[in-house]
Amino acid sequence: MNKDSKIYIAGHRGMVGSAVWRVLEKKRYSNLIGRTSSELDLKNQQQVYDFLEKEQPDAIIDAAARVGGILANNDFPYQFLMENMQIQNSLIDGALKIGIEKFIFLGSSCIYPKLAPQPLKEEYLLTDSLEPTNEWYALAKITGVKLCQAIRKQYNKDYVSLMPTNLYGYFDNFDLKTSHVLPAMIRKFHEAKINGNAAVTLWGTGTPMREFLFVDDMAEAVVYALENQLPEYLYNVGAGKDIAIKELAATIQKVTGHQGDIIWDSEKPDGTPRKLMDVSKMTTIGWQYRTELDEGIVKTYNWFLKNIEAVKEVKM
């Protein structure tokens, strides 16, 4: 990529897309393009094709998706499967048809089987059953990975898939019905603190292990893939280490200054017992994370405080 190469970031206002945009601007890329959902409906294949035909980007970064936590996946399975397939199919097929050579597809660690050996290696894909609480989103993302692999194999184009671990950071979703565990905890502990340090109730037992990556580190991985031709079709992106949910809760409680009790509702599901990524393929080719979890949580909480009025409820 040259600094004036035209790069289209799908989902440029989301957490990951906006982080990629910031990193590219910092590296002095000067020809970035993005469209809001009101300007371009990524679920509409003809609209996407017409847009790509007109703009002729040199590369596409697909950071657009319908995302959410356990509750959202459970309550809206059709939307999570269909809408994510529509978005990625429109972009991938459009890119192929107009001859775009570089495509970076972003997925999730939930593509791997629920009880796959730990840490998760790329070759574990499709070797066993998925976690039922998010299989709809996972199935959509698996089809995206396989489409990019097929194009790479059949047409010899530089289409690569990056599978991040649990991401958090600036512009995260803090809606308690649809957010992931870390931003949900930040909001719960903050609101409990300002309500007289009320007790905070959290789902599950707190025993599952989870890995987290600050979103700006993920953006750096995307830019690394943009600037280099990676030898394989699928790469895990993460910190390569995990933490118990109970320990995560204690860390967030400390950062927010909450001094009340934590109640664990063991009647609620825990989800996958452990999800740790094997990131050796990425580290071998030259990328590694920079932001430690404590530092990232402080940055995220400070951003949340500055933007608290703009944190909106997500309408499903």
Residue 93 labelled as part of a binding site: no
Residue 41 labelled as part of a binding site: no
Q: Rounded distance, CA 297 to CA 246, Å?
A: 15
Set 137, 159, 224, 289: catalytic member: 137
Residue 16 labelled as part of a binding site: yes
Task: Please work out, in degrees rounded to the nearest 5, the angle formed at the alpha carbon of residue 178 by the alpha carbons of 172 and 180.
Answer: 55
Residue 90 labelled as part of a binding site: no
DSSP codes of every residue in 23-86: HHHHTT---EE---TTT--TT-HHHHHHHHHHH--SEEEE-------HHHHHH-HHHHHHHHHH
Residue 108 labelled as part of a binding site: yes
Task: Please work out, in degrees rounded to the nearest 5, the angle formed at the alpha carbon of residue 137 by the alpha carbons of 249 and 143.
Answer: 135
Whether 183 and 174 have beta carbons less than 8 Å apart is answered as yes
Q: Using alpha carbons, list the distances in angstroms from residue 262 to 161, 175, 179, 187.
A: 38, 20, 19, 14
Residue 169 labelled as part of a binding site: no
Residue 1 labelled as part of a binding site: no
Residue 260 labelled as part of a binding site: no
Residue 271 labelled as part of a binding site: no
Residue 223 labelled as part of a binding site: no
Whether 163 and 222 have beta carbons less than 8 Å apart is answered as no
- Helix-helix angle 293-306:245-256, to 10 degrees: 50
Residue 5 labelled as part of a binding site: no
Residue 166 labelled as part of a binding site: yes
Residue 270 labelled as part of a binding site: yes
Is residue 137 part of the annotated active site? The answer reads yes
**Which residues make up each annotated binding site for substrate?**
188, 203, 210, 270
**Which residues make up each annotated binding site for NADP(+)?**
11-17, 106-109, 141, 164-167, 180
Catalytic residue positions? Answer: 137
**Which residues make up each annotated binding site?**
11-17, 106-109, 141, 164-167, 180, 188, 203, 210, 270
